[in-house]
Amino acid sequence: MLNFTFQNPTKIHFGEGQIEKITKEIPKDSKVLMVYGGGSIKNNGVYQQVSDALKSHSWQEFSGIDPNPQYDTAMKAVQFIKNKGVDYLLAVGGGSVVDAVKFIAAASLYEGEDPWDILSKGAKVKDALPFGVVLTLPATGSESNNGSVMSKGDDKLFFGSPLTFPKFAVLDPATTLTLSDRQISNGVIDAFVHTMEQYVTYPVNAKIQDRFAEGILHTLIEEGPKALDEKSKNDIDVRANIMWSATMALNNLIGSGVPQDWTTHMIGHELTALHHIDHARTLSIVLPATLKVCREAKREKLIQYGRRIWNLNSANENEIIEQAIAKTEEFFKIMQVPVRLSDVSLGENTIEPVLQKLEQHGFTALGEHQDIDLNVSRKILQTAV
């Protein structure tokens, strides 16, 4: 096991009816800004539940946070906050809203000239407004970690700070019952690939981390398809198990003490930035290709993955690896997401622009061995065509 430091201070309120807990979580004298995306929370009752919980607070709202949250929109929120003296933020929505609120929290108190430097130059976050989360889409894990991904033009970049953990997060699986099939499948795939990025690397004999990762994968493989099936899609336990899986997939726990990859995410981010493909759908396209191209570096963990997750028991290890990758693609297809660039009408000609963006962002040594250079990334994209 590798040495690590782990801390996750976010308080989780999980279960039906838990939105009312925000009344006590947000200090009474706060000037609250509720931040959300489109109008879906007005149709599914969440906006009303949050309003009810905040009825003794002073609060205002800011809507219109985009999927793949945009810098320009976030900066409008920052201006609003400065004008109105807001001192507590409440993100209501999915990972995009939570990521945007993390950036808004940091940018509102940023003393440098351009808050985009936090993402583009790694400028240090020295202070941030406190914020809570009401999660309505299980996927990114952002509700219980300190990371954020923001977009500006065709740049999609990451930042994280110890100051950008949510103070609390409410996870009510009932709020996910109105999600579209596409939102559900994207969420399950996002959580699945988060887990794979921290699990299918090279073994360091970290048994708890491996088994927790395997527990998440098993759960997503079992529950994901149920959430798309008319017979079981309203089963609250299905939604609860997916929701808790997604949080556990990226709350720093399973990644502590083990090598991490993130090649698939980095390439995927460029595909989203250039072609506006849903984040999860870039992952389902890139992951199988990454596993194929890096099969030797990931050999031992791919075999473990095949045996423990897909119950493959061939005596031929290469066969296990091939079948494990095939099973992964099969699962992705069951979850109705693309597995090739051609499935989203992209071809060879997207490869060089993606590589240029990777180079521009400094992502020329990706992966758990930092040996995925632009040539290997090209091979991955060619494999994904």
Binding site residues, a second copy, CB under 8 A: 1-18, 21, 205-208, 210-212, 214-216, 218-219, 222-223, 237, 240-241, 244-245, 248, 256-257
Q: How far apart are CA 65 and CA 72, in angstroms?
A: 10
* Residue number, 240 or 355, with CB nearest to a second copy: 240
* Residue number, 121 or 218, with CB nearest to a second copy: 218
CB of 235 to a second copy, least distance (A): 9
Q: Return the SS3 of 362.
A: coil
Residue type, 159: F
CB of 208 to a second copy, least distance (A): 5
* Contact of 233 with 204, CB cutoff 8 Å: no
CB of 368 to a second copy, least distance (A): 18
CB of 8 to a second copy, least distance (A): 7
Tokens for 347, please give them.
């071809």
CB of 280 to a second copy, least distance (A): 20
* Residue number, 257 or 353, with CB nearest to a second copy: 257
* Residue number, 35 or 170, with CB nearest to a second copy: 170
* Residue number, 222 or 371, with CB nearest to a second copy: 222
* Residue number, 11 or 121, with CB nearest to a second copy: 11
CA 90 distance to own-chain centroid: 19
* Residue number, 38 or 257, with CB nearest to a second copy: 257
Q: Classify each residue of 108-124 as buried b or exposed e, where b means 16 or more C-beta atoms within 10 Å of its C-beta.
A: bbbeeeebbebbeeebe
Tokens for 132, please give them.
């809570």
Tokens for 144, please give them.
């219980």
Q: Which residues pair with 151 in a beta bridge?
A: 70, 156
- The DSSP letter of residue 366 is B
Write the secondary structure of 244-270 as one string of H (helix), E (strand) and C (coil). HHHHHHCCCCCCCCCCCCCHHHHHHHH
Dihedral of the CA atoms 171, 173, 174, 177 (nearest 10)?
A: 130
Q: Is 373 exposed, middle or buried (0-12, 13-18, 19+ CB in 10 A)?
A: middle
CB of 206 to a second copy, least distance (A): 7
Q: Return the SS3 of 42.
A: helix
CB of 29 to a second copy, least distance (A): 21
CB of 45 to a second copy, least distance (A): 18
Q: Which region holds residue 77: left if phi is over 0, alpha if psi is between -120 and 50, else beta?
A: alpha
* Contact of 385 with 342, CB cutoff 8 Å: yes
CB of 170 to a second copy, least distance (A): 10
CB of 283 to a second copy, least distance (A): 21
* Residue number, 134 or 271, with CB nearest to a second copy: 134
* Residue number, 309 or 320, with CB nearest to a second copy: 309
Q: Return the SS3 of 239.
A: helix
Q: How far apart are CA 34 and CA 47, in angstroms?
A: 10
Q: How far apart are CA 328 and CA 302, in angstroms?
A: 11
* Residue number, 129 or 216, with CB nearest to a second copy: 216
Nearest to 260 by CA among 195, 308, 304, 310: 195
